[in-house]
Structure 1
Amino acid sequence: MNQPRIPLARAVSAAAAALLLCSCAGTGGAGDGTTAPAVNNGAPKMTQLAVNAKARSQLKQGGTLNWAIDQLSAQWNPLQADGSEASTNDVMKALLPTFWRSDAGGTQTPNKAYLLDVTAETRRGKQVVTWTLNPKAHWSDGKPITWRDVEATWKALNGTEKGFRTASTTGFDQVESVTMGVDDRQAVMTFATPFSEWQAMFNNAANAPLLPADYIATPELFNTSFLDRIPVSAGPFKVAGIDRDARTVTVVADPGWWGDRPMLDRIVFKAIDTGAMPEAFAKGEVDFFNNGPNAAGYRRIQSLPDGEVRKAGGPNLRHLLLNGKSPQLTDAKVRQALFQAIDREAITRTDLAGLDWPYTPMNNHFLVPNQNGYRDNSGGLSRYDPQAAAQALDAAGWRLDGDVRRKGGKDLALRFVIPAGNSIALNESTLVTQQLGKVGIRVTVAPVKAGDFFEQYVYKHDFDLTAFALLGTPFPATSSTGSFQQGAGSNYSQVGSDALDSAMAEAAVATSVDGEDEAINRADAEAWQVAGLVPLYQRPAIYGARKSVANLGAPGLSDFVYENIGFLK
């Protein structure tokens, strides 16, 4: 699974760009095959973008693209706690409004199809952002997109009414009002406290679309309007059908779209178990899929005459997750002991073998190794140290009895839930079982149906241990908060602290790059102490694509422009 997360290495952080661009939106064009700027910590450079970028004039008009996704969602609201998942986002980004375009370096430019102009200024000591909407923009039911949609999305995401099951409230919880500007097509947003990453709002790269007021105005509507259906859209494509038996979602070019005509006639999103994607690609069943750190899939793509590996340094993170509400894991000291008993470098090397990817375990929850501001705040918890882990478990009352630890008549036994057919998760669970077994912790691996993994297990906290990937964005504070904040919908470890919440909040209102880095690193130090998420490595953004497919691949910090995706002439 992917969740909102952290940015790739840059010369300055994305939050710094937001601060520098406080008066107006940024400018800049996307490149292809560019290289990340050097930073001062010696980490390797990585390609920023690999999407086979081509001008629209070089593409055919028409055609069907078959795109593999890893689950057929039940919840299609991407801002709802159960809908904040990569497959959902892949589909909904073709259908919902987003106000920004992000280039390879994470610089934000207004998406003129929806946002004609935006200004950020200080009025009477408060930050005010004025959003001027495109008067041509409308929902598929014919209703115009207005300031009321901005207001409704804010009310749903600001955290004041707990019935809205949101993935994150970051930024929206700092807004005190949204009012109409000069007319219905202008929204004036006033912040109670400054929000440095305000460009993350209604942002495609940040997985944060605008939602229609009519379908989210109440908690019941927000939580249920998009259950097993997509009732309305406002993008270059519209829904043609959801087939649960075939596990497909078909979207077609919307003749009512007011922007550039989509180059494709349709996109068919096919839900396929991750492990089966490379062979489906080889058989011609799909034209594009996210291979991730799958060495066999990597080789399979390379073996095909019409296949192409598109690889870039993405902002994504592979991690292990501990459920802090599991009976044996409620003690933070026990969770910290697991951190020290797990050999993350061994897992990383095994996961990434054969991918030509740097073997660099991550020692920070928020920043990737080649990013400015990155440092190890673990206080030793990032170091593989089974002896220290054993001592900590002894101190917590879990004593060895034969080959397993017991306390109060109960074994220290954990259930590691993984999606069936996922070779990476199987490798991780096998190694973790061996490593924890050496310190007296018994692990049982529980493969479950891949299509049920998130909805039935992760979202419902039905696991002791699990592993998946988190999706990154160009906004470090915004993208990380939902995974760590107490009570946040996407905090699946269910652990946190007031100090961690405070540090993340300070990062969101920082007025300098140094201030943001300091706050994020304080938050990271707290994340090690609450010990719910074990960072493994910066996940390779490796995709398989037909050589004929253009403007689609490994996006880095950029976002896909769906109307420009197509086939070469």
Structure 2
Amino acid sequence: MSHDGAGPRAALRSVALLTAGMLAVPALAGCGSDDPAGKPLAGADIAEADRAKVADGGTLRWAVDTVPDTLNTFQADADTTTSRIAQAVLPSLYRMDGQGRAVRNPDYLESAEVVDTEPKQVVLYKLGQQAVWSDGREIGAADFAAQWRALSGKDTAYWTARNAGYDRIGKVERGRNDLEVKVTFSRPYADWKSLFTPLYPKEVMGTPDSFNDGAREKLNVTAGPFTVEKVDTDEKEVTLTRNARWWGDPARLSKIVLRSVAHDKRISALSKGTIDLAEIDPGAAGRITAAALPPAKSGSTPLAGPGADRSAADALRSWAVANGSDEEAADEEITARKKLRKKAEKYARRQKALGGFEVRKSLEPAYTQLALNGAEGPLADERVRRAVARALDRADIAEAVLEPLGLPAEPVGSHLALAGQAAYADGSGALGEQDAKEARALLADAGWVRGGPVEKKKDDEEEAAGAESEKDGTSGSESGDGEDADDGTYIVGEDNDKEDKSDKEDSGDGSGGSGGDDKAPRDSGTGTKQLNQGSAPGAYAPKGTAAPARAENAPVAKDGKALTLRFVLPSGPGSETSATVAGRISKMLEKIGIRTDISKVDNDSYFKDHIASGEYDLALYSWPATAFPATDARPVYSKPVPAADGSLNVEQNWTRVGTDQVDQLFDQAIGTLDDKERRSLIRKADSRIWAAAGSIPLFQRPQLVAARKNLANAGAFGFRTPVFEDMGFLKKSAQGPSGSPAGSGSAGSPEAKRPEESSGD
């Protein structure tokens, strides 16, 4: 995907000096004796069980977002389902552990190590003796060499989406025997463990035709615990079957069916028994949790579902109308009552079916950020971006999203790693903590000052009131907060009234308003007579009266134009969290005088038409964590450069904010083989990304997964790469009290009986 920039980023000398000053201390933040990486905030929740307790056979039906357009993960249209399939059917030389760190996969590798660094870096791979492709051929150097040639970038006939790392390889050759592969690099490459995962057979990588088209809809040769049986676009599912030539621990499941189910349809699919495992949103998680609660007493009002919001008075009124003398009204009410009863019965049936599931939860290896488009407009000025960032209470945002789910609510402190990963360190100190006063000072330094467009009444009565107040001898330039006002007058209108109330709710201590009538200014303590409680909105306060609490939050403006930022959000299913976060951010920015214009757009066009094209000021989207930030994060934060056609080549840096220094630190880290030194470089790069304030990490994304209670070794994986051969349904003898209901059997086992229900929603 190509991304065209919207315009050059403004570069001001005063901004550069400000950045340099802020970075002087945080650059040393990671140099202490304690490991700043810490531990993961949440572990995997997969109902881990010993393989001996897992039954042999059965089909796991797993909800996914799409049936992929390609099975080749190195093509541009590959997606998360492509990667999930590759994990199950192809060699992964390294996989992620519970701390998000790359660990050797013993099913394929006996060892892999750097055996030489001078004059060239050389890595020697020793393959497992039993590692073979599904056609019986040994995995070997020919497969490594074919993948290197396809992904090196030298042959443009290969339609590759990425070649990072492969472009640094000089040659791939056989070692002392068929089980050894020797890879020599032309330039040092620290993230060599990221290569050859997944590893495709030479039958796929050998020619441009086989690479471009041969692996889009089928993989004839694989080497994992499962193989691809078929890709059915009509039924919207991919079927994986147990690999008879797999040499590792035999897969417990006979089949895995990856079925495309929209997020807003998953609770229905779960209740109908058509899927066994699905990532879900908080609303669906609440329904499954509620299904485990004791049923409401007969005749009582349901706690949830149709009719849950009807009070006893509503029910009595409905009964009265249905049994009243007005026949037409009675007929309508009887019909409505029947429809409501049917909906309630259907809801109850589905809730009963959901009783066989549980919610497994962790934190995704991904974080949500606030992106600030620095290509043009007010956010091209780094001082404005920093003001936005300093206004945010990131802890409050994380708590709002994660605490209701019972997950650790800690703001993310790094752009390049998550807590527990080797490169993690909290670099947010390079930006500074939340401070509204500092944020307003940054805006003022950039020319955005209070006194933006405020509608002022100019009728004769108000002018007379102003003249009368002058007679009192009070000075209109004094304000109770000790700061000079623009003209000594403060107008409290209807819109500001609403803002006062919301501020009081946010603060929780009543300090955001005046107490009593929000339209009356607070008592300054000077003995000045206050306005009557019944004063009309828009009236002038007497001179010398303390400024209303929100006066300092008045809109900021420059050249007569208020500072308003376009905040673009997706609008489809699952976007409720984004809307909640955006609402809180908008209130926080309002407190420093920045207004937001929230625009909700269709999910399908969100990235293509808005984020990638730069049609936004503020936006929310997420980035996955990686064990190889020097390689994988560089295109996300590298400085955009002009392309030959005059456009701006931003790679994946959709904020259009970057610096030469960040690029240099990434380049140094990629070529540094010493782990400790590389981590230090990554952390320094992160500090400078924080200081540039192009993107502000907010929270690690929640991971909520609905799973059948008797499904083992699957669910919310967190950092961990799934171990597909261990997944399966517990033997009946291994099921506890929370297992599947008596007599229902395992939903994925041969004897299971699946609940059926009409498809109407």
For the aligned pair, the TM-score class normalised by the smaller chain equals 0.7 to 0.9
Residues 474-507 of structure 1: CA deviation (Å, up to 9, x unaligned) = 4454453343245685444344333212222333
1:416 has 2:410 as partner: no
Structure having the larger proportion of residues in helix: 2
Deviation at 1:522, TM superposition (A): 0.9
State the alpha-carbon separation in 1 of the partners of residues 414 and 664 from structure 2: 18
Give the drift of 1:536. Answer: 0.7
Report whether the alignment pairs 1:198 with 2:192: yes
**Which one of 655, 666, 673 corresponds to residue 504 of structure 1?**
666
Distance 1:309 1:215, change over 3 A: same
Paired AA for residue 64 in structure 1:
T
Counterpart position of 2:199: 210
Question: Counterparts of 1:397 and 1:159 in 2: how far apart (Å)?
Answer: 47
* 1:64 to partner: Cα distance: 1.7
Q: Which residue among 617, 625, 629 is the counterpart of 1:472?
A: 625
Question: Does the alignment pair 1:348 with 2:398?
Answer: yes
> Which residue identity lines up with residue 405 of structure 2 in the other structure?
L
Q: Which residue of 1 aligns with 2:257?
A: 268
Q: 1:310 aligns with which of 353, 360, 367?
A: 360
- Whether contact under 8 Å (1:168, 1:481) holds in the other structure is no
- Deviations along 1:23-43, whole A, 9 cap, x unmatched? xxxxxxxxxxxxxxxx76797
Query: Contact 1:473–1:557 (CA<8 Å) still a contact in 2?
Result: no
Aligned residue for 1:448? 602
- Correspondence for 2:116: 122
Q: Tell me if 1:516 matches 2:511.
A: no
- Paired position in structure 2 for 1:426: 579
The structure that is strand-richer by fraction is: 1
- Judge conservation of contact 1:242–1:250 (CA < 8 Å) in 2: yes
Deviation at 1:160, TM superposition (A): 6.1
1:354 is paired with a residue whose SS is helix
- 8 Å contact kept, 2:565–2:618: no
Change (3 A) 1:370 1:266: closer
The 3-state SS of whatever aligns with 2:238 is: strand
Matches within 5 A, 1:14-413: 46-83=41-78, 85-105=79-99, 110-122=104-116, 124-133=118-127, 145-158=139-152, 169-182=163-176, 186-202=180-196, 208-216=197-205, 229-232=217-220, 234=222, 235-244=224-233, 246-255=235-244, 257=246, 259-278=248-267, 280-291=269-280, 294-303=281-290, 304=292, 305-312=355-362, 315-325=365-375, 329-369=379-419, 374-378=424-428, 381=431, 383-393=433-443, 395-396=445-446, 400-401=452-453, 412-413=564-565
Q: CA deviation at 1:525?
A: 1.6
How far residue 298 of structure 1 moved from its aligned partner, in angstroms, is 3.7
Q: Does the 8 A contact of 1:398 with 1:412 survive in 2?
A: no
Counterparts of 1:386 and 1:161, CA distance in 2: 54
Deviation for aligned residue 1:56: 3.0
- Structure 1 distance, partners of 2:617, 2:136, is 47
Alpha-carbon distance in 1 for matches of 2:96, 2:567? 40
1:322-380 CA distances to partner (integer Å, 9 max, x unpaired)?
44446665554444343234442332121113122233212322243566775443456
Matched AA of 1:428: V
Q: Post-superposition shift, 1:535?
A: 0.5
Is this contact kept in 1: 2:371–2:620, CA < 8 A?
yes
Return closer, same or farther for 1:105/1:361 CA change in 2, 3 Å cut-off. closer
Residue in 1 aligned with 2:688? 526
Shift of 1:548: 1.3
| Structure 1: distance between partners of 2:560 and 2:169 | 49
- Structure 1: how far apart are the matches of 2:717 and 2:677? 28
Q: Is the 8 A contact 2:64 2:278 kept in 1?
A: yes
> What is the CA distance between 1:524 and its match in structure 2?
0.7
Change (3 A) 1:437 1:448: farther
Whole-Å separation in 1 of the counterparts to 2:37 and 2:184? 41
SS in 1 for 2:664: helix
Counterpart secondary structure, 1:179: strand
Post-superposition CA distance 1:82-102 (Å, at most 9, x none) = 43x534322332232211355
Gap regions ≥5 residues in structure 1: 1-38, 203-207
CA spacing shift, 1:259–1:508, aligned 2, 3 Å = same
Matched residue count: 522
TM-score by length of 2: 0.59
SS of structure 2 residue aligned to 1:62: coil
Question: For residues 82 and 607 of structure 2, what CA distance do their matches in structure 1 show?
Answer: 12
The one-letter code of the counterpart of 2:710 is: S
Q: Which moved more, 1:504-513 or 1:492-501?
A: 504-513
Secondary structure of 2:663's counterpart equals helix
Distance 1:554 1:245 in 2: 29
Alignment CA distance shift 1:529-1:102 (3 Å): closer
Residue by residue, what CA displacement relative to the aligned partner does 1:244-301 show, whole Å, maximum 9, x if unpaired?
Answer: 455433323344545444322222223334455455434433222234xx54344334
Aligned mates of 1:214, 1:461 — CA distance in 2: 40
Match of 1:49, SS state, is coil
State how far apart, in whole Å, the 1-side matches of 2:144 and 2:650 are. Answer: 22
Rounded to whole Å, the distance in 1 between the matches of 2:395 and 2:188 is 39
Answer with 64-73 or 104-113: which moved more. Answer: 104-113
Contact 2:88 2:225 in 1 (8 A): yes
Alpha-carbon shift at residue 110 of structure 1 (Å): 4.3
Give the CA deviation at 1:523: 0.5
Give the percent of matched residue pairs that are identical in Structure 1 and Structure 2: 30
In structure 2, list runs of 5 or more residues that go unmatched.
1-33, 293-354, 455-554, 640-648, 732-761
Q: Any idea what SS the aligned residue of 1:539 has? A: strand
Residue in 1 that maps onto 2:493: none
Q: Is the 8 A contact 2:158 2:208 kept in 1?
A: yes
Instruction: Work out the CA distance in 1 between the residues paired with 2:448 and 2:206.
Output: 49
- Asked which structure has the greater RCO (Cα within 8 Å, sep 6+), the reply is 1
Alpha-carbon distance in 1 for matches of 2:258, 2:657: 35
SS where residue 500 of structure 1 aligns? helix
Q: Cα distance 1:218–1:499, how it changes in 2: closer, same or farther (>3 A)?
A: farther
Q: Are 2:170 and 2:185, in contact at CA under 8 Å, matched by a contact in 1?
A: yes
Question: Per-residue displacement from partner, 1:126-177 (whole Å, max 9, x unpaired)?
Answer: 3311224457656568876442432343345556678877666554444333
For residues 288 and 497 of structure 1, what CA distance do their matches in structure 2 show? Answer: 43
State the Cα deviation string for residues 359-407 of structure 1 (Å, max 9, x = none).
Answer: 3212322243566775443456353345544554555566744568677
Q: Taking structure 1 as reference, are residues 353 and 55 closer, same or farther at Cα in structure 2, changes over 3 Å only?
A: closer
**Cα distance change on mapping 1:163 and 1:432 into 2, 3 Å:** farther
CA drift at 1:564:
2.1
Q: Give yes or no for contact 1:168–1:489 (8 Å, CA) kept in 2.
A: no
- The 2-side partners of 1:61 and 1:298 are apart by 29
Q: Does 1:543 align with 2:705?
A: yes
TM-score using structure 1 length = 0.76
Aligned to 2:636: 483
Task: Give distance in 2, aligned partners of 1:192 and 1:288.
Answer: 45
